A and B are shown apart, each in its own frame.
Chain A
Amino acid sequence: MSSERLGITVAGLHKDYRVHRRKSGMWKTLGSVFRRSYETVAAVRDLSFTIEPGERVGFLGPNGAGKTTTLKILAGLLHPTAGRVAVAGHEPRLREHRFLKRITLVMGQKQQLIWDLPPGDTFLQNRAIYDIPRASFDATLKELDDLLGIGPIAEKPTRQLSLGERMKCELAAALLHRPDVLFLDEPTIGLDVSMQLAVRDFIRTYNERTGATTLLTSHYMDDVAALCPRVIVIDKGRLCYDGALASLVQRIRPDKSIVLRYSHRPDRAALERIGTVTECDDAKAVVRVARPDLREAVAHLLLDPDVSDLTIEDPPLEEVLRELFARSAAGQT
C-alpha cells in the first residue's frame, strides 16, 4: 500500500484565522460595538510533508509556529483553508467515524477524563463509544496497565490524581481503541523528570509494538531526541527543515562540544588554540571543535595530565533550533 493509504500526506496546506482586533480603551471598546475590524492571520502556509506508516516524527517549532494548528487539522478538528491532507487514507475534515477510530490526539493541556469520576469510568465509556469487543478491551487495558502501571489509580477520582498519574490515564484512555496514528501534543508538559522518562518509554514501546505512526510536538528537546529519528521543523507556519535529526544538527552546528573536567583551573589560552571555548571555570571547560578536527583535538587534550575526564557531545538541540529559526528569519534556509 502507498504511504498515503496508511501514513500521513500533507500537500500545500494553508490555514488562515480571522482574528478580531480591538485596541484597548473605553472609546475603542465603544467603537467596536458598531464597527469591528478583523485581520486574517496565516497560521500555516504552504506546508507539505509525508510521513510513512510506523514512523516516529518530531514536529518542532517555536510558540505560534503552527504546530498545534497542523495537528488539529490532521486530527479533523480544524478545516484547512487550502491544501490537501490525508491521514491513514482518510480526509480528516470529514471526521468519518472510521477515521476517528484509527487516530488519537493527546493534548497535554487538555483532558478527556471525566473529572469527578475514576478513570475506569472513562475507559468504560470509551469502550462503548469505540465499540471495542470486551476481550480486546480487557487485553489492551492489561497491556496498557503493564506499560503504565495504571491499575491502582484507575479507581480513584480523576481530580485526586497527580498530574503524572492523570497523564498516564489520559494516554491509556486515548489508546484503548488501538489507533494506527498518534498525534501527541506536548504529552510530557508539566511532568517531573521521572514521569517524563516513563511517558517517553511508553510512547516508544507502543510505537514499536503496534507500528502506529506517531507525530509528536514537545518543547522538551530530550523527548524529541529520545523518540524521533526524524524531525519536521516549522516557523511562522512555513517548513524550515524536514529530515533526520542527526543531519539537522550536523547542518546547523557542524561542530562538537568537548567537555573537560580538570583537577585544577585549566589554561584558557591553551584551549582557545584548539577550538572555541564556550565555558571555562575552576574545574570544567567546554571547547567547540569542527567535526573534521575532532580526533586531533581529543588526542591533544588527552595528553594534558590535568584532564580528569573528557566527553564529546552534540550541541544542545535547543541551540540548534534557535540557530535554525534565526537563519529562517534571515531567509538563509
Chain B
Amino acid sequence: MKALSAYPTLLRVGFASAVAYRTEMLVWMLTMTMPFVSLALWSAVAAEAPVGRFDQKNFVAYFLATIVVRQLTGSWIVWELIQEIKSGALASRLLKPIHPLVVYSAENLSAVPLRALFAAPLALIGIASGGAALPRDPYVVAAFVLSLFGAWAITFFVMTIVGCLSFFIESSASILEVWLSLFMVLSGYLVPLELFPGWVRDIADVLPFRYTLGFPVEILIGMSNDAAIARGLAMQLGYGCASAALALALWRAGLRRFGAFGG
C-alpha cells in the first residue's frame, strides 16, 4: 500500500527524467520504425490485389497501429537491469524501502505521455488513411485499453526475466536477441499474423508474443470480434500473471547471488 501512495511521485519524477532524456528517447523510438519497411513492401504487394482481408489502406492502418501500440507498450527495463546488476548500481535501489520493480515500472510508465506525443501524428495518419475501423463500442474501447496494459505488463515482466538472468549468467543480452527475433515474426510486428499459414497462426496463438503487440493492434483497427477479444484478454491475464510470478521468483533467487560489485 505504501508503494501505491508513492507511485504518483515516482511517476512525476519519472516524467521529469523522461523529459530530460527526450533526445535519447526520440532516437530510441526511431529504432522501432521497422514496420514502415513492412508497410512499403506490403503496400506494393497489395497494389495489384488485396492480400487476404488486407488492401493497401488496411496495411497502412495496421502498420501505423503497430508502431503506435509498440510505442505505448515498450519497456527498456532489461537494459537498465543488466547494466545495474553488472555494475553494482542496483545496490542503491535495494537500499530503499520499496520494491525496485515498482520503481522501474513507474520509470517505464512515466515515459508513456512523451511516447504518445510521438505516436499521435502516426495515429492521425492511420485514421485519415481510412483503413482502420476504429472501435466506437465502449466495451471494445475498454478492451483495447486493457489490452494495451496487458501488452505492457507481459513485455515489462518478460524483460525483467531476461534482465534477472544477469544475476546468473554473463550473456543475458543474447537471450534478449532470441526473444526479439521470435517477437518480430510471431507478434505480428513485421507481418500480420493472419497472413501466415494456419499452423504458424496456431503456434502464435498460444505463445506470448502476439499478446504483446498483434492482439491490441487487431482490436484497434477493428479486426477482432468479441470472442477473440475475450480470449485474447484471458491469454494476456494468464501470461501477465505467469511472467510476473517467474520474474519475482528469479528476482528473489538472483538477489541471493547479487555481488553488489563496484565500490
Binding site for B on A (CB under 8 A): 17, 68, 72, 75-79, 95, 97-98, 100-101, 103-105, 107-112, 114, 116-117, 121-122, 124-131, 157, 185
Contacts and interface: CB of A to CB of B under 8 A. Distances in A.
A100 B262 CA distance: 21
A185 B263 contact: yes
A104 B97 CA distance: 11
A212 to B, nearest CB: 16
Interface in B142-192: none
A98 B259 CA distance: 23
A112 B92 contact: yes
A121 B13 contact: yes
Given A17-B259, A72-B91, A72-B260, A114 B13 contact: yes
Contacts of B92: 107, 110-112
20 contacts: A17-B259, A77-B91, A77-B95, A77-B260, A78-B259, A79-B255, A97-B97, A100-B97, A103-B95, A107-B92, A110-B88, A110-B91, A116-B17, A117-B13, A117-B20, A121-B16, A122-B13, A124-B9, A128-B5, A128-B10
Contacts of B12: 124
A76 B20 contact: no
B104 to A, nearest CB: 13
A24 to B, nearest CB: 17
Given A77-B94, A97-B2, 17 more contacts: A76-B94, A77-B260, A78-B259, A78-B260, A107-B92, A109-B263, A110-B88, A112-B92, A116-B17, A116-B21, A117-B16, A117-B17, A124-B13, A129-B98, A129-B103, A131-B5, A185-B263
Contacts of A76: 94-95
Contacts of A125: 9-10, 13
B258 A78 contact: yes
Contacts of B262: 109-110
B interface residue count range (under 10 / 10 to 19 / 20 to 34 / 35 or more) = 20 to 34
Contacts of B5: 128, 131
Contacts of B231: none
Contacts of B103: 129
B21 to A, nearest CB: 6
A75 B13 contact: no
B101 interface: no
B165 to A, nearest CB: 16
Contacts of A112: 92, 95
B96 A110 contact: no
Contact of A110 (B13, B89, B97, B258): B89
B6 A128 contact: yes
Contacts of A72: 91, 260
Nearest to B95: A105
Nearest to B260: A77
Nearest to A157: B20
A127 B2 CA distance: 12
Which among A76, A112, A126 has the highest number of chain B CB atoms within 10 Å? A112
A114 B103 CA distance: 13
Which among B12, B97, B98 has the highest number of chain A CB atoms within 10 Å? B97
Given A107-B263, A114-B13, A121-B13, A129 B95 contact: no
Nearest to A103: B95
Top 4 closest pairs, chain A to chain B, by CB: A128-B9, A97-B97, A116-B20, A128-B6
B256 interface: yes
A129 B96 contact: yes
B175 to A, nearest CB: 17
Contacts of A185: 263
Contacts of A107: 91-92, 263
A103 B258 CA distance: 20
Contacts of B95: 75-77, 100, 103-105, 112
Contacts of B259: 17, 78
Nearest to A110: B263
Nearest to B98: A129
Interface string B1-39: 010011011101100110011000000000000000000
Given A128-B6, A129-B98, A79 B263 contact: no
B90 to A, nearest CB: 9
Given A77-B95, A95-B94, A130-B97, A114 B17 contact: yes
